[in-house]
Structure 1
Amino acid sequence: MSDTQTLIDNRPPSVANLFLERVEATPEAEAYRYPVPSSSGQGPDEWRSLTWKQASDRVFGIAAGLVSLGVAPEERVALAAATRVEWILADLGILCAGAATTTVYPSTNADESAFILSDSDSKVLIAEDASQVAKALEKKAELPSLTHIVVIDPEGVETGDTVLTLAELEQRGTALLEKSPEVVRERVSAITKDQLATLIYTSGTTGRPKGVRLPHDCWAYMAKAISATGLVTTEDVQYLWLPLAHVFGKVLLSSQVETGHVTAVDGRVDRIIENLPVVRPTYMAAVPRIFEKVYNGVAAKARAGGGAKYKIFQWAAGVAREYGKVTQENYRRTGNATAPFGLSLKHEVADLLVYKKIREAFGGNLRACVSGSAALAPEIGYFFSGAGVHILEGYGLTESSAASFVNPGEAYRTGTVGKPLPGTEVRIADDGEILLRGPGIMQGYHNLPDKTAEVLEEDGWFHTGDIGELSTDGYLRITDRKKDLIKTSGGKYVAPAEIEGQFKAICPYVSNILVHGASRNFCTALIALDEPALMGWAAENGLAGKSYAEVVAHPETVTMVDGYVQRLNEGLQRWQTVKKFRLLPRDLDVEHGEITPSLKLKRPVVEREYAHLIEEMYAGSREA
């Protein structure tokens, strides 16, 4: 048995155990950085730090505070807050109390929040602010199990017997620890690996979300398996902005506790560009939409600089893609990421003119990014690869604790999600569906045994619902969601995500695109345009002063987008080509329920919302 496998097999039962080990091993090392408004109220935020010992003091206070409220092992404590250091401390406190965290996106409306709190039978809610508290109080009559609400930012909240601040919870915990110093350690030592640790509700595209039951062992396994890949070291600085209510953000917390590196945490997406040069991370995780926005932003900036600058950017982008492809292929064949002399020379020039500035925008210290949650368009991946921003795509689901596959460092291959984590098994079913088995797989869906039986076989194989291909040396390529595959009326199968990804790499103005064509005789598309990029184009093309909606509706805009659609079609099979498209009057967003909080497209919702535009595109056509 390998040392790696021994490390994984001998894992402790929970991340709570790992946390205690981490605090004991490196108590004075920096654990977390977090922003606070500057003392003057002017200028940029100030970043402060917590050592592992300081973090543990607060975690123990929260854990003991929950015990004082009567929270028993495995009972649920809901957490409704944005990504911030208090989210992490609260989650660790819940785990160290032997309880289980129910994650709730702060953007979730009152009805769905109430459903999650009720279905999970949550006893305590830790809420970020007055708006989150109000949602729970509005539905209090539907939540008989909810005994207490704890608020992180108490401004505007009336506290009392059942509503208290996080500071008050910690004070209660400190008082209990003075009487019973071992109460938290006793709770941690009693945790078993099969005990429920987390309930994460999937963002259902239709119907109610399903609660995914992830026991303590899932997170302990993930912590050890990610550490075993060698992708993260104790010297790393992680920039964490992903929503922690999502499994992708949550798994990063487990691996950090095991490795012991620094995490700078700030969930404000509008501060990413501002924060990166300050934090100067060595790695960060993101979803493809972030890389698409960076790429489109760089292209728009170059275009705004005039024709010459834009031509230089286009040339440099082409060089980056070629360089990324060649060096990855040479590494695969020889173990050296080399390129021919002529290409290397062009790459050096392009680096001085373009790539260096892109790396500086990421803080100048970035060793790698991990991308997950959805497919990254290969052309965008190759661009960043050539520019020296190495994007390691990974793959997993809420039901598999997020990280089932990841690209292996220097040996990464754009367009694949890499190899399985140590201890995770994979096989491809006869119909192409990816099946997974291993310690990261869920126990099942909460209160839904029939739904669990549909995807989880008795021998542990989990049906992902994704279609994929395995290379001879174990790299996985995702081709589409099984349920999203389109079969045209002519009997041809089309993978919409693949076409959508190609279009995002071609058109710098696209924000979201949905390809439609199921049971139709040709494919069509609904396209939403990125407002900042589009308005920059409008100002240069005689449309300055017009609103976003007016620009989208303008014939010149339609003609411009049509040019990119024709370029897309040149690289597709005849039955895949997009024959018609419509531009949407606004971008898709979470608020309208068209994309999930992790920025995935909700196809049924969008198709239902814009059914009139879809029917308009097929009006008069002969459906076979």
Structure 2
Amino acid sequence: MSGSTQKHQYSVEVAGASDIPGEGKPRRNALSPDKLILHPDGATTLYENFLHGVKEAGDGNFLGHREIKNEIVGSYVWQSYNTVQKRVANFGSGLRKIGLIPKEPLGFFSINNPEYVMAQLASYQYNFIAVPLYDTLGAEALEHIINQTGMKYCLATVNKGRVLLDMKEALPTIQTIIILDTIDQEFNDLANALDVKILNFTDVEQVGSVQPVEAENAKPDDVATICYTSGTTGIPKGAVLTHKNFMANVASIRWLADRGTMFKSTPNDVHISYLPLAHVFELANMATMIYGGSAIGFYQGDTLKLLDDIDELKPTIFISVPRLLNRIYDKVMAGVKVKGGVAQWMFTAAFNSKKSGLKQGRYDHWMWDRVVFAPIRARLGGKVKYILSGSAPIAPDVMDFLRIAFSTEVFEGYGQTENAAGLTVSLFGDTSSGHVGPPQVSVEVKLVDVPEMNYTSNDKPYPRGEICVRGHTVFREYYKLPDETSKTIDKDGWCHSGDIGQWDDQGRLMIIDRVKNIFKLAQGEYIAPEKIENIYCKHELVSQAFVYGDSLQASLICVIVPDEEVLMHWAKQNGFEGLSYEELCKDAKVRKHFLQTLIKYGKANDLKGFECVKNVYLTPEPFSIQNNLLTPTYKLKRHQAKLRFQREIDAMYAEITIKL
């Protein structure tokens, strides 16, 4: 096929859309150009979604966990859809009996496990609002979420419950903690002293099973969850997501599957749940799996043991994030290098042969899959049919590797908390990399000009701009933050993502930049660079700092303008006398000292591990208005700084990779 006009188009402009200056026309998935899909057959809410799964699977496996006795990990123990349905109803009834009323928040503070999901489903059946908590953001964020929602009831494991009790003075509304594992006497005594009621999960079930309270089922526009974003700047914001938002996502995946362009979950499928249910990506995954009546097995709670859990569970659908997929890629490639010789030659020959096959849309090979790639497939249990990557961008070479090594369809999705993780997804049979596919069939997408960054809808060869989405997955509001809501959702219902996108020649979206000075690292953590720079600039050795993170990398790097006077003084005291300021900036030992100093200083100033830079470059030339690195108000021009130091940025990341 020659010429871009003959290439398959994955998205099309909305018919009749007007030309608006400063933005491109909205686009929809080419498979549904005339309408946006709202919900799948027979399920308008997340509770009805569960009932559909019960109908599909019945006595088939639903929730599985590994029993650990005397520190020995056993095989998976399963509960069926029918069994879980009864337990969910009893638990929901029990929550009503102990005082929780519909449309009130129920906190969730635990790793993923069967009880977590049963409590979620009970929330959907009895119309409570699920509010996930997670302590990676620190006590301040926990306090904010609990107090902003007025949370009285919270599910927790004992270790997380202890965190709440330790903070009780700052959490006046917390009255009852429902424990998902075993309660010890010390915990009970502490709770009694603080006047907090402690119940066991099974106690609540038992109470609810006697003369059960009738459920007040949620409606599509009722709130399913308030999902707090991982705090891009200070305090996290609560995205209010409705049942309709999640069901539109399920509908899109199912609708595409019915047309042979996406995987369809069935009672024969197995999903491993280890991505945190406190984040919207796994919530959306879970809903899709449940609709199809699939089995869901949970990890032990330790990502270092995840491959052991996978080996035991043997999932058929593997949904992951770049951080883990990158680790698999790195380990395989490092192993090949170590083996060397014939083994390395054979792997390279097989890999290159299959890579050329990808260009023709093929990801399997009759010989290489058996001879070379079978042991790699076994790392994910050997039964994986589909892999989906989401939550952060994945490098094209890793996508190619996954398709080649696992001989399977690999999809990449793109979404945010604010659109229930459902914005775009790549489709079945598309074996190219570097894009995140066309819009889901439940939304439409447009690009709006960002002239200050030189991104416009008239850019050649492809239009670029801020990604804006409108449709059924878009959240209702930020909880109790009307001003923030109006900054994100405009008067016409378009949700502004803060990401810069580009349409390719086949109507697929590529993520190329961030509008705001906030970005995601490869493991999905949000970074506010100004906060980190402000801390580093307080150190006597640092005059100016530019912190940068590539969304395909797991760590931050930093360009530093040292304080010349302080550096020269330090040099005299540390055996570097005789070197000029410029020579000191180039010296590898001086750079190493700066890096070690900043890591130590960052930790002493409460920077989290992922916020500490892993490499530095020292430049003797200050950032200034004259060299176009500062605005007239002396703010750093990040985009210009990135362009200016691109070579040094690449070199710093290359050094980090070599060290690993």
- Does the TM-score normalized on the shorter chain lie above 0.5? yes
Question: Of residues 29, 47, 50 in structure 2, which corresponds to 1:16?
Answer: 47
Is the Cα–Cα contact under 8 Å of residues 393 and 406 in structure 1 kept in the other structure? yes
What SS does the aligned partner of 1:483 have? coil
* Equivalent residues in 2 for 1:338-487, closer than 5 Å: 348-349=367-368, 351-352=369-370, 354-387=372-405, 388-431=407-450, 432-484=465-517
Change in Cα spacing, 1:459 to 1:149, as seen in structure 2 (3 Å) is same
Q: Deviations over 1:81-124 (max 9, x none)?
A: 00111111111112212010000125453332222111122121
Aligned to 1:618: 619
Aligned to 2:265: 233
Is the Cα–Cα contact under 8 Å of residues 123 and 130 in structure 2 kept in the other structure? yes
Question: Of residues 315, 319, 325 in structure 2, which corresponds to 1:291?
Answer: 325
Question: Of residues 35, 45, 52 in structure 1, which corresponds to 2:81?
Answer: 52
Counterpart Cα distance in 2 of 1:277 and 1:42: 18
Aligned to 1:251: 284
Question: Is the counterpart of residue 154 in structure 1 residue 168 in structure 2?
Answer: no
Question: Amino acid of the residue matched to residue 290 of structure 2?
Answer: V
What SS does the aligned partner of 2:483 have? helix
Question: Of residues 111, 115, 139 in structure 2, which corresponds to 1:86?
Answer: 115
* Equivalent residues in 2 for 1:184-203, closer than 5 Å: 184=215, 187-188=216-217, 191-203=218-230
Q: Deviations over 1:264-294 (max 9, x none)?
A: 1224312211122221111111110101111
What SS does the aligned partner of 1:101 have? strand
Counterpart Cα distance in 1 of 2:337 and 2:47: 51
Question: Amino acid of the residue matched to residue 359 of structure 2?
Answer: E
Aligned to 2:651: none
Question: Is the counterpart of residue 329 in structure 1 residue 362 in structure 2?
Answer: no
Is the Cα–Cα contact under 8 Å of residues 150 and 166 in structure 1 kept in the other structure? yes
What CA RMSD, in Å, does the superposition of the two structures yield over aligned residues? 3.6
The percent of aligned pairs where both chains have the same amino acid is 24
What SS does the aligned partner of 1:209 have? coil
Change in Cα spacing, 1:354 to 1:10, as seen in structure 2 (3 Å) is closer
Aligned to 1:277: 311
Counterpart Cα distance in 1 of 2:311 and 2:295: 16
Alpha-carbon shift at residue 211 of structure 1 (Å): 0.7
Alpha-carbon shift at residue 303 of structure 1 (Å): 4.2
Change in Cα spacing, 1:110 to 1:165, as seen in structure 2 (3 Å) is farther
Aligned to 1:113: 142
Question: Is the counterpart of residue 139 in structure 1 residue 157 in structure 2?
Answer: no
**TM-score of the pair, normalised by structure 1:** 0.74
Is the Cα–Cα contact under 8 Å of residues 436 and 510 in structure 2 kept in the other structure? yes
Counterpart Cα distance in 1 of 2:112 and 2:71: 23
Alpha-carbon shift at residue 445 of structure 1 (Å): 0.7
Is the Cα–Cα contact under 8 Å of residues 108 and 154 in structure 2 kept in the other structure? yes
Counterpart Cα distance in 2 of 1:95 and 1:495: 42
* Equivalent residues in 2 for 1:513-528, closer than 5 Å: 513-516=555-558
Change in Cα spacing, 1:175 to 1:464, as seen in structure 2 (3 Å) is same
Counterpart Cα distance in 1 of 2:360 and 2:42: 37
Is the Cα–Cα contact under 8 Å of residues 79 and 126 in structure 1 kept in the other structure? yes
Q: Deviations over 1:446-500 (max 9, x none)?
A: 111111111111221000011111234331111122225999xxxxxx99666x6
Question: Is the counterpart of residue 165 in structure 1 residue 200 in structure 2?
Answer: yes
Aligned to 1:530: none
Q: For structure 1, which runs of at least 5 residues remain unmatched after alignment?
A: 332-336, 488-493, 505-511, 521-557, 563-579, 596-600
Q: Deviations over 1:60-97 (max 9, x none)?
A: 12111111122222110000000111111111112212
* Equivalent residues in 2 for 1:57-72, closer than 5 Å: 57-72=86-101
Counterpart Cα distance in 2 of 1:218 and 1:321: 42
Is the Cα–Cα contact under 8 Å of residues 560 and 619 in structure 2 kept in the other structure? no
Counterpart Cα distance in 1 of 2:501 and 2:273: 29
Based on CA coordinates, which of the two structures has the bigger radius of gyration? Answer: 2
Aligned length: 511
Counterpart Cα distance in 2 of 1:318 and 1:447: 58
Counterpart Cα distance in 1 of 2:43 and 2:318: 27
* Equivalent residues in 2 for 1:479-498, closer than 5 Å: 479-484=512-517
Q: For structure 2, which runs of at least 5 residues remain unmatched after alignment?
A: 1-30, 258-262, 451-464, 520-528, 530-545, 563-587, 628-660
Is the Cα–Cα contact under 8 Å of residues 221 and 439 in structure 1 kept in the other structure? yes
Counterpart Cα distance in 1 of 2:271 and 2:111: 18
**When you count helix as a share of all residues, which structure comes out higher?**
1
Alpha-carbon shift at residue 25 of structure 1 (Å): 4.8
Counterpart Cα distance in 2 of 1:518 and 1:96: 55
Counterpart Cα distance in 1 of 2:446 and 2:484: 22
Is the Cα–Cα contact under 8 Å of residues 363 and 409 in structure 2 kept in the other structure? no
Change in Cα spacing, 1:619 to 1:86, as seen in structure 2 (3 Å) is farther
Change in Cα spacing, 1:56 to 1:102, as seen in structure 2 (3 Å) is same
Question: Of residues 238, 241, 247 in structure 2, which corresponds to 1:220?
Answer: 247
Is the Cα–Cα contact under 8 Å of residues 223 and 257 in structure 1 kept in the other structure? no
* Equivalent residues in 2 for 1:570-589, closer than 5 Å: none
Counterpart Cα distance in 1 of 2:335 and 2:469: 43
Change in Cα spacing, 1:622 to 1:115, as seen in structure 2 (3 Å) is closer
Counterpart Cα distance in 1 of 2:413 and 2:352: 20
Which structure ranks higher in relative contact order (CA pairs < 8 Å, sequence separation ≥ 6)?
Answer: 2
Q: Deviations over 1:559-618 (max 9, x none)?
A: 9x99xxxxxxxxxxxxxxxxx9968969x99x97647xxxxx6xxx446xx8xx75x612
**TM-score of the pair, normalised by structure 2:** 0.70
**Which has the larger displacement, 270-279 or 10-19?**
10-19
Question: Amino acid of the residue matched to residue 513 of structure 1?
Answer: S
